[in-house]
Amino acid sequence: MASRKYFGTDGVRGRVGEHPITADFMLRLGFAAGRVLSNGDARAVVIGKDTRISGYMFESALEAGLAAAGANVALLGPMPTPAVAYLTRTLYACAGIVISASHNPFHDNGIKFFSEDGEKLPDATEDAIEAQLDKPFVTVESALMGKAERIDDAAGRYVEFCKSTVPYGTTLKGLQIVVDCANGSTYKVGPEVLRELGADVHPVANQPNGLNINDGCGSTHPELVSSEVLRRGADAGIAFDGDGDRVVMVDASGEIFDGDDILFMIANARNDNGQLNGGVVGTVMTNMGLELALKNRRIPFTRTSVGDRFIHRELVEKGWTLGGETSGHILCLDRASTGDGIVSALQVLEIMTRKGASLASLREGFDKFPQIMINVPVSAGQQSGLDDSEPIRNALRAAESEMNGRGRVILRPSGTEPLIRVTLEGEDSGQIDRLANQLADVVRQELGARD
């Protein structure tokens, strides 16, 4: 893992036009992936993408590289990341590829891979792809080249799958729901799923143009869906991110519910019904209030590093099914093989309709600790210097000493962006705000991006 050149916590990601997010690299990556993941297997490698403009270029480059390696290709077009995972399984493909930078701006892009089971690739497989990238690009004989086909009914297949994750007969009739599609890959299927279940749907940010993905909308900008819920007097709002694996929700009063809130709602309802298999997995960023609320209900809880692959690994090892991140990346492994924004939202909406309850009432019993996170932009390669800076270590120790066990201080590099995330959580909002800014100032001085 430490010696990797390309793969990060969630595939290969970066700014378009800057190595490795270039057309020539994607050609070689497609070839390397074809050699490792296909290796003579007649089954196709499926490719889906979000709506950012560079997806066209990278789709073509990956397709060419895969074909040169002898791998067949099935093109899905714009499709949520979890849809690619699902279709990889149901189309009996040998692997799946998603072209997306998730919640990042349009000028970023990335590549994620799924195994034939619709799960993130094991570390060993990613290492094998990296090793293959260092080998010569040798096109197979013409008779052995891969072929490509487009799957025209991909969206319909996925819509039916999403609907199947709630009990038969579930209806959302009578609910007015605002859906923010982030101008991303859920722009068609997100509203369609809810409409087919009977909801009165009001979509926003559902007109992608290749440049507006995540731009002032989606789960990273929930103020848009919040204001629209209030304007329309809707019952609830849902905001996805650009590739549809994250979700945040909004109640009728416009209050925003993040991934911790959603985890609590699902865990509490399943626990009441005797349907919670084991406990809940969160991350180091999960609010302490959730841990205490679950403890009060005798629901086991454990934390992992940030990243859905770590949550997934912990869930599998424990034999549990429910986990997630504060960002809204929720895993319901009894429903889907990976985090799925639409599926997660449906679990909450089903609880609402079954109980005849408002969204706000489902969160009763969960009191959050005040939390603040400051993102400090750093120069390329500077994230690794976090542990080597004595001034940062001293500032961290000072903040922890002042908290005196009445909260948490978390300092970590982002796995997807050139940022250091400074997070404090505690009982006194004024104290954590002051300490967070002090610590962020030191990080900025030591590692901050230079103009």
| Residues that are catalytic | 102
Give alpha helix (H) positions in 176-287.
189-196, 223-232, 259-273
Give the count of beta carbons closer than 10 Å to the beta carbon of residue 207.
Answer: 11
The rounded Cα 7 to chain-centroid distance in angstroms is 16
DSSP 8-state assignment for residue 3: T
Distances in Å between the Cα of 341 and the Cα atoms of 212, 394, 418 are: 20, 40, 25
Of 307, 328, 443, nearest to 374 by C-alpha is: 443
Which candidate, 188, 43, 220, places its Cα nearest to that of 115? 43
- End-to-end, the C-alpha distance of the chain in Å comes to 31
- Residue count of the chain, please give it: 451
In the chain, the amino acid numbered 335 is R
Residue type present at position 451: D
Q: Is the Cα torsion angle 47, 50, 56, 58 positive or negative in sign? A: negative
Contacts of 363 (CB under 8 A, 6+ apart): 257, 261, 264, 265
- Report the distance separating Cα 224 and Cα 179, nearest Å: 10
Q: What is d(CA 71, CA 89) in angstroms, rounded to the nearest whole number?
A: 17
Nearest CA among 334, 351, 330 for reference residue 282: 330
Rg (CA), the chain: 22
Residue 99 to residue 46: CA distance in whole angstroms: 11
